[in-house]
């Protein structure tokens, strides 16, 4: 095993840090700031989540390569594929839908009700749990090698 691949769990925990800081803290804090109007908050959020998604796409490709080259452990493979699938769904469907929804609000329109935001939040929670499972499983494997 290549030496750097042994430390793949670091990627999982760095990713957890990104996810906790952006999805579970920044977004929540931003929408509670009284001085920030909704259109501005949505615009900032769109840019922040777009940047996070780019980082997550890079992380997920690294994770996918890492999983298929270095692991036959079923837990690592299943959690890795789950995370990768969620990133594809978020990138290809959920984020564009959320951006379109926020654009309508920024233009002063009232968009139709949508469950996309709830789906995104649920995926973020499941992704976070999967990253913890993946990271701790990678540490367990690291300790045995």
89-100 residue pLDDT tens: 999 999 999 999
Q: How far apart are CA 116 and CA 41, in angstroms?
A: 18
Higher pLDDT, 110 or 53: 53
Contact predicate 30/54, CB 8 Å: no
Q: For residue 72, what pLDDT is reported?
A: 74
Provide the pLDDT confidence category of residue 3 given band limits of 50, 70 and 90: low
**76-80 long-range contacts, CB within 8 A, separation 24+:** 76/134, 76/137, 76/138, 76/141, 79/130, 79/131, 79/133, 79/134, 79/137, 80/134
Q: What is the pLDDT of residues 34-77, one digit of tens each?
A: 899 989 999 999 999 999 999 999 999 998 888 877 777 899 99
Distance of CA 13 to the CA centre of its chain: 12
Contact predicate 59/113, CB 8 Å: no
pTM for the whole structure:
0.91
Q: Average pLDDT over the chain, rounded to whole?
A: 90
Q: For residue 131, what pLDDT is reported?
A: 97
Query: Which residues, other chains included, contact 120 with Cβ-Cβ below 8 Å and sequence gap of 6+?
Result: 90, 94, 95, 98
């Amino acid at each position: 095993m290549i030496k750097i691949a042994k430390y793949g769990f670091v990627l999982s925990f760095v990713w957890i840090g990104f996810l906790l800081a952006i999805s579970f803290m920044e977004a929540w804090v931003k929408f509670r700031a009284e001085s920030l109007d909704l259109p501005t908050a949505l615009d900032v959020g769109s840019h922040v989540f777009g940047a996070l998604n780019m980082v997550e796409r890079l992380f997920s490709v690294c994770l996918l390569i890492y999983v298929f080259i270095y692991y036959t452990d079923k837990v690592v493979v299943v959690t890795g594929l789950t995370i990768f699938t969620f990133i594809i769904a978020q990138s290809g469907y959920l984020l564009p839908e959320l951006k379109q929804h926020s654009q309508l609000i920024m233009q002063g329109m009232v968009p139709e009700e949508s469950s996309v935001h709830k789906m995104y939040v649920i995926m973020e929670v499941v992704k976070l749990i999967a990253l913890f499972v993946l990271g701790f499983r990678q540490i367990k494997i690291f300790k045995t090698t």
